Structure 1
Amino acid sequence: MPDIKALLAKAKPRERIVKVMLDGATAGEIERLEAELLEVQEDWQPSDLTEAHPGRAIAAQIAELREKARESEAEFRFRYIGDEEYSSLLAAHPSASKEELFDSDSFPRALIAASCVDPVMTADEAKELFKVINQGQIQRLFDAAWDVHNAAGLVPFSLAASALLAAAGGGEK
């Protein structure tokens, strides 16, 4: 049977990295151009065989903007903060409702700030970030912070990696 000190020496807090796109204006422009492209594809009729499809220029713009959007992505690394600190954080953000574990306004911001180790941020800085990213992105950050504290799985399973390895003849073990 292993010695607890040996196990503790090997133990590391759970971590998770997520990406968030910070350029919301570019995302909106891509969506506008995709709608325009769909409209052009439905309505366009060439007047002769030499006429170029106007959707090609729109598709090129979309490809350029997608690259710009990818360049605006930022990685956020979350790490488990420990049982006592997590319990204290929950206790500091009680819900007004007995059916909820925590205050849904203040706790997500506090948990993101407390467990994000790269970039390091305060709760006030998380609040500033929440003013420019959308609710889906906020939820993505909160889900990562929540998962490092509450996910119960042993070794994370990767369906994509398993499928690639199976196709190559070596399955995930």
Structure 2
Amino acid sequence: MPDIKALLAKAKPRERAVKIMLDGALAGEIERLEGELLTVSEDWQPSDLAEQHPGREIAAQIAALRETARESEAEFRFRYIGDEAYSSLLAEHPSTDNNQAFDSESFPRALIAASCVDPVMTEADARDLFKVINQGQIQTLFDAAWDVHNSASLVPFSLAASALLAAAVGAEK
């Protein structure tokens, strides 16, 4: 039978990292160019075999911007803060709606700030961050913070890794 002290010595709080792109203007420019590419591609028919697709230059611009976009990504690493700290945080942000466990305005910001270990941030920092990133990105951060506190899965499952390994095994046969 395992000794609880030995188990506790091995235990580490759950962590999760997510990336978000901080340059929203760049994202908008990529979307604009993708729309332009779609427009020029809809009706294009080559007049001869040597004619180059007019969207080729746009596609090159998109590829270059996507590389720049990857450089503007920032990784946020979240760590479980412990049951007492988490319970206290929930208690500090009660909902006025009896059907909700927390205040949906203040709790996400507080949880993100409390559990983000890299970069370390305060609630004021999170508030400033929320002024420049969009709701989808805020949700991505909150989902990661929520997950480290509430996910019940033992070992995270990776569909991509499983598919690659299955393909490698199939190729070896």
Report the TM-score when normalising by structure 2: 0.95
1:60 paired with 2:60, answer yes
Q: How many residues align?
A: 170
Cα pair distance change 1:166/1:29, threshold 3 Å: same
What are the ranges of 5 or more consecutive residues in structure 2 without an aligned counterpart?
Answer: none
1:112 paired with 2:117, answer no
DSSP-derived class of the 2:19 partner: strand
Task: Tell me which residue corresponds to 2:167.
Answer: 167
Task: Tell me which residue corresponds to 1:11.
Answer: 11
Q: How far is the alpha carbon of 1:47 from its aligned partner? A: 4.5
DSSP-derived class of the 1:162 partner: helix
Q: Which runs of 4+ in 1 moved over 4 A?
A: none
d(CA) in 1 for partners of 2:84, 2:96 = 22
Report the TM-score when normalising by structure 1: 0.95
What are the ranges of 5 or more consecutive residues in structure 1 without an aligned counterpart?
Answer: none
Task: Tell me which residue corresponds to 2:149.
Answer: 149
Task: Tell me which residue corresponds to 1:32.
Answer: 32
Q: How far is the alpha carbon of 1:169 from its aligned partner? A: 1.2
Q: How far is the alpha carbon of 1:52 from its aligned partner? A: 2.2
Task: Tell me which residue corresponds to 1:102.
Answer: 102
Q: How far is the alpha carbon of 1:49 from its aligned partner? A: 4.2
d(CA) in 2 for partners of 1:164, 1:47 = 42
Task: Tell me which residue corresponds to 1:43.
Answer: 43
Aligned sequence identity (%): 83
After superposition, give the CA deviation of every residue in 1:18-77 in whole Å (9 maximum; x if it has no partner).
000001111100100001001100122345544322100000000000001110000000
What is the Cα-based RMSD across aligned positions, in Å?
Answer: 1.1
d(CA) in 2 for partners of 1:33, 1:15 = 37
d(CA) in 2 for partners of 1:169, 1:37 = 39
DSSP-derived class of the 1:96 partner: coil
Cα pair distance change 1:104/1:55, threshold 3 Å: same
DSSP-derived class of the 1:164 partner: helix
Matching residue's letter, 2:86: Y
